[in-house]
C-alpha cells in the first residue's frame, strides 16, 4: 500500500472511498464538491468509532465513509489511531483500490501527534500475516491518501507511516512460526534492516566470536539446540556530526523457549515462539530510525538470539556458567534462560559500547502477566530518569508502562550458594519479575539502565482495532521511537 500525505489545502483527487472523521454533535464537514444526501449526514451522531457508509451521487468520490471521533475539547491520539485502523480495514473490506482519509477538525498544538496517530493506525490496521496461507489474496487497497489540516499534521502523518510500518515488521517477526524464524533467520532480518539506510550498520557475532569474549552464560543456552546462537549488533549513526546521546537497546531474541531440561508443560507451549518479541521490537525500532533519520542521537541495538531446547548437551539444573563480566551463575532452572542470554549482551554493552543509557526489553517472566496482564509492560532499573522517561513515552504512545520495585531484597534473593549468582530465587520469595530484573542488574555496571518486562504486552492484548487477539502486538517499537526522541 502506497501512502501519500497531504494538507487539506491541497486538491482532493478522485478516489473510490473518502473517509471523513467527524466530531460528535457537529455536522460532518465534507470537502468541496462532494455531494451526498443531506438526511444521511444529519442523522450521523459522531459517537466514538461510529461508522456510516453513504453513496455519493456524483463528484470526485464514489462512496463516503463517516467515522465518529467522539466529543471533548481535544481528540486524543489513541482514539484517532483506532479510527485510522477502522478506516483502513473498512476500505480494504469494501474492495476499494484507493481511499482518502480526510481530517478537517481543529487539532491545535496536537496536530503533529494526531497526524502521526492516524497514519500509525491506518498502517497497523492493515497488518495481516498471509505469508503462510496458500489461498491468500493480495491486498486490494493499493493507494491511501491522508489529508489533514496543517503542515504539522502532514509531517506527523509521514512519521506515523514509518513508525506504523516498523511496528508491522516486529509483528511479522513475532507471528512467524518458530521453525521459520530461527536465530539465523532473525540475523537475516537484521541484515535486511541494516540495508535500509547508509546510517545503519550491523555486525553479527557468531558462537566463536562470543566464546572469545567469554560469553559463557549466553552460549550455555544454545548448547541444547542444533541451531547456533548469535549476537546481533545494529548501529545507527546520525549524519556527519556525532550524536548528543548514545543509547543502547537490548532485546531478548529467544526464537523458541521450550524451557530446556526444566521443560515447560505442553499446553500453550506454541506461544513461546513469541519469546523473541524484545528482539523484534529492537529490529522494528531500527527500521523506524532508517526512515526518520534523527540527527542528534547514536543508537546501538543488541539482540542475543538462541533457542532453548532439551538435549544431551543442554544446561542441567545445578550447572555453573561464567558470564563475560566474570560473574559465575548457578543455573537452578533452565527455563530462566532469558536472563542468561541478556546477562552477556548487557555486559558487552557496558564494556564495549558504553552508552549514556541502556534499555532492555524481554518476555522475561510469567509473573508479569499475572501482575500486569496484557495491556501493560513492567519497568524497573537503576535510574529514575530513564524509568520516568519510559513511563512518559508509554502515556504518549498508548504502550503503557508501569514501574515495579527492584530493591536490595530482590538482589539478595539472587545471590548464589555455589557461584556468585543463581538464576532463580529460592522457593517462597515470590516477586518473580523483580527478582528477574535484580539478576540483570549485575551486568549493567554504572550505566543508567531500565528493564522492560514485556511478557504480557508482547501479544494477546485486547482488541484495539489496530492490534489484538492471539497475535503479536509489536509492543516496544512505538515506545522506543518516542523514548529516543524525548528521553
Contacts of ligand BES in 266-285 (CB under 6 A): 275
Separation of alpha carbons 21 and 30, rounded Å: 9
Residue 129 burial (CB count, 10 A) = 15
Q: Cell numbers of 420, please?
A: 556468585
In the structure grid, which three cell numbers stand for residue 117, read together?
Answer: 496517530
The answer to whether residue 307 forms part of the interface with ligand BES (CB under 6 A) is no
Based on the shown chain and the rule CB under 6 A, indicate whether residue 363 belongs to the binding site for ligand BES.
yes
Long-range contacts of 382-388 (CB under 8 A, 24+ apart): 382/441, 382/444, 382/448, 382/449, 383/357, 383/448, 383/449, 383/450, 385/448, 386/357, 386/359, 386/448, 386/449, 386/450, 386/487, 387/450
Q: Does 455 bind ligand BES (CB under 6 A)?
A: yes
Residue 301 CA to residue 122 CA, distance in Å, equals 27
Single out the residue of 4, 118, 11, 129 nearest to residue 60, CA to CA.
Answer: 11
Give the residue among 8, 266, 276, 292 at the shortest CA–CA distance from 152: 8
- Residue 255 CB, shortest distance to Zn ion, in Å, is 10
Grid cell locating 45: 451522531
Q: Which is nearer to ligand BES, 275 or 399 (CB)?
A: 275
Q: From the list Zn ion, ligand BES, none, which binds 455 (C-beta under 5 to 8 Å, kind-based)? A: ligand BES
Q: Residue 21 to residues 26, 29, 73, 202, 406: CA-CA distances in angstroms?
A: 11, 9, 15, 42, 45
| Whether the Cβ atoms of residue 321 and residue 340 lie closer than 8 Å to each other | yes
Residue 22 Cβ vs ligand BES, minimum distance, rounded to whole Å: 41
Decide: is 419 part of the binding site for ligand BES (CB under 6 A). Answer: no
333 binds, among ligand BES, Zn ion, none (CB under 5 to 8 A by kind): ligand BES
Exactly one of 199, 339, 396, 478 is catalytic; name it: 339
**Binding of residue 218 to ligand BES (CB under 6 A):** no
CB of 184 to ligand BES, least distance (A): 20
Asked if 273 is an active-site residue, the reply is no
**Would you call 339 helix, strand, or coil by DSSP?**
helix
Site string for ligand BES, 317-356 (x = CB under 6 A): ----------------x-xxxx------------------
Whether 339 is a known active-site residue: answer: yes
The residue from 89, 140, 143, 264 that is catalytic is 264
**Applying CB under 6 A, which part among 5-13, 67-75, 366-374, 437-445 lies near ligand BES?**
366-374
User: Pick from ligand BES, Zn ion, none: which does 369 bind, CB < 5 to 8 A by kind?
Assistant: ligand BES
Contact footprint for Zn ion (CB under 5 A): 254, 257, 275, 335, 337-338
- Please name the residue that has the C-alpha cell 535484580: 438
424-443: contacts with ligand BES (CB under 6 A):
424, 432
What backbone phi and psi angles, to 5 degrees, belong to 290? Answer: -60, -35
Q: Indicate which single residue of 158, 161, 189, 257 sits in contact with ligand BES (rule: CB under 6 A).
A: 257
What is the distance between the alpha carbons of residues 275 and 281, in angstroms, rounded to a whole number? 12
- Count of residues making up the chain: 487
Restricted to residues 10-29, the positions that interact with ligand BES (CB under 6 A) are none
Q: Which of 143, 415 has the CB closer to ligand BES?
A: 415
Among 366, 403, 445, 468, binds ligand BES (CB under 6 A): 366
Residues of this chain that bind ligand BES (CB under 6 A): 257, 275, 333, 335-338, 363-367, 369, 424, 432, 455
Catalytic center residues: 264, 339
Amino acid at each position: 500500500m502506497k501512502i501519500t500525505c497531504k494538507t487539506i489545502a491541497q486538491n482532493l483527487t478522485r478516489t473510490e472511498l473518502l473517509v471523513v472523521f467527524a466530531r460528535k454533535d457537529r455536522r460532518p464537514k465534507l470537502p468541496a464538491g462532494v455531494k451526498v444526501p443531506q438526511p444521511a449526514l444529519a442523522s450521523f451522531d459522531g459517537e466514538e468509532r461510529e461508522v456510516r457508509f453513504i453513496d455519493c451521487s456524483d463528484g470526485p468520490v464514489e462512496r463516503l465513509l463517516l467515522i465518529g471521533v467522539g466529543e471533548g475539547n481535544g481528540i486524543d491520539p489513541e482514539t484517532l489511531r483506532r479510527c485510522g485502523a477502522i478506516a483502513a480495514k473498512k476500505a480494504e473490506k469494501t474492495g476499494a483500490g484507493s481511499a482518502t482519509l480526510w481530517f478537517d477538525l481543529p487539532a491545535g498544538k496536537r496536530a503533529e501527534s494526531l497526524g502521526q496517530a492516524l497514519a500509525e493506525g491506518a498502517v497497523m490496521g492493515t497488518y495481516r500475516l498471509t505469508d503462510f496461507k496458500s489461498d491468500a489474496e493480495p491486498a486490494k487497497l493499493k493507494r491511501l491518501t491522508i489529508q489533514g489540516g496543517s503542515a504539522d499534521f502532514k509531517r506527523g502523518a509521514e512519521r506515523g507511516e514509518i513508525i506504523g510500518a516498523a511496528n508491522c515488521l516486529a509483528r511479522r517477526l513475532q507471528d512467524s512460526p518458530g521453525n521459520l524464524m530461527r536465530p539465523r533467520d532473525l540475523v537475516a532480518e537484521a541484515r535486511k534492516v541494516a540495508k535500509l539506510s547508509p546510517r545503519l550498520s550491523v555486525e553479527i557475532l557468531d558462537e566463536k566470536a562470543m566464546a572469545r569474549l567469554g560469553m559463557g552464560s549466553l552460549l550455555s543456552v544454545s548448547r541444547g539446540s542444533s541451531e547456533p546462537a548469535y549476537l546481533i549488533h545494529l548501529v545507527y549513526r546520525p549524519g556527519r556530526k556525532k550524536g548528543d546521546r548514545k543509547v543502547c537497546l537490548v532485546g531478548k531474541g529467544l526464537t523458541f523457549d521450550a524451557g530446556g531440561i526444566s521443560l515447560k508443560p505442553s499446553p500453550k507451549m506454541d506461544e513461546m515462539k513469541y519469546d523473541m518479541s524484545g528482539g523484534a521490537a529492537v529490529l522494528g525500532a531500527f527500521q523506524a530510525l532508517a526512515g526518520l533519520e534523527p540527527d542528534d542521537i547514536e543508537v546501538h541495538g543488541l539482540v542475543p538470539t538462541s533457542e532453548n531446547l532439551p538435549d544431551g548437551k543442554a544446561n542441567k539444573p545445578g550447572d555453573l556458567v561464567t558470564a563475560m563480566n566474570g560473574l559465575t551463575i548457578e543455573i537452578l532452572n533452565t527455563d530462566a534462560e532469558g536472563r542468561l542470554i541478556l546477562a552477556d549482551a548487557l555486559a558487552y554493552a557496558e564494556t564495549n559500547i558504553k552508552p549514556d543509557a541502556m534499555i532492555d526489553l524481554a518476555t522475561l517472566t510469567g509473573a508479569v502477566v499475572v501482575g500486569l496482564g496484557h495491556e501493560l509492560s513492567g519497568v524497573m532499573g537503576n535510574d529514575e530518569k530513564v524509568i520516568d522517561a519510559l513511563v512518559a513515552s508509554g502515556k504518549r504512545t498508548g504502550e503503557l508502562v508501569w514501574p515495579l520495585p527492584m530493591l536490595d531484597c530482590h538482589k539478595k534473593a539472587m545471590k548464589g550458594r555455589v557461584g556468585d549468582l543463581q538464576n532463580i530465587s529460592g522457593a517462597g520469595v515470590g516477586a518473580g519479575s523483580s527478582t528477574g530484573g535484580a539478576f540483570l542488574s549485575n551486568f549493567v555496571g554504572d550505566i543508567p539502565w531500565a528493564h522492560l518486562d514485556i511478557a504480557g504486552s508482547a501479544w494477546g492484548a485486547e482488541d484495539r482495532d489496530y492490534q489484538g487477539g492471539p497475535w503479536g502486538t509489536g509492543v516496544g517499537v512505538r515506545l522506543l521511537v518516542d523514548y529516543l526522541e524525548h528521553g
